[in-house]
Amino acid sequence: MSVAYAEVPLWAAILSAAFILLGATLALIGAFGLARLGSFYDRIHAPTLATSWGAGGMVMGSMIFFTAAAARPVIHEILIGVFVTVTTPVTLMMLGRAAIYRDRSQNNPGIPPLSPTAEISGPEAQEDGD
C-alpha cells in the first residue's frame, strides 16, 4: 500500500505541525533547564517533564498526520507515549534516590535527614547496632 504524503489535507498538516512544534518546544525548554539549573535535583526535574509532555505532543502530531495520510486510524504510536510516560518518572525516582543516598552517605550539607519513622535498611541500620 502506497501512501501519498502530498495529499494530506491542509487542516491535518497544520494541526500535526502545531503538535510537533509544541512537543519540540517543550523538549527544548527541558534541555535549557538541564543546562541552566543549579543543583542535580533541579536538573533532573526539568528534562523529565519536558520529555513526557514533549514526547506526547510529537506523538499526537504523528498520529494526526499518518491517520490523515493513510485514511485510517493510526494509533500504534500511543505505545510510544505510554512507554515514555511510564519509564521517565521511574528513572527520575531512581536517579533522585541514588543521589540522595550518595549525598547522605557522604554527609553533604543541605540534604534533609531521614525521618525517625522511616524504615532503615542497609549500612544505616547496621550503624545503630541492629
pLDDT interval class at 37 (50, 70, 90): confident
Q: Which residues are CB-contacts of 105 (< 8 A; sequence separation ≥ 6)?
A: 123
pLDDT at 123: 54
State mean pLDDT over 78-90. 85
Question: Which has more pLDDT, 52 or 114?
Answer: 52
**Does residue 66 contact residue 78 with C-beta atoms inside 8 Å?**
no
pLDDT at 117: 61
pLDDT at 14 over 90: yes
* Of the candidates 7, 24, 29, 89, the residue with the CA atom closest to the CA atom of residue 61: 24
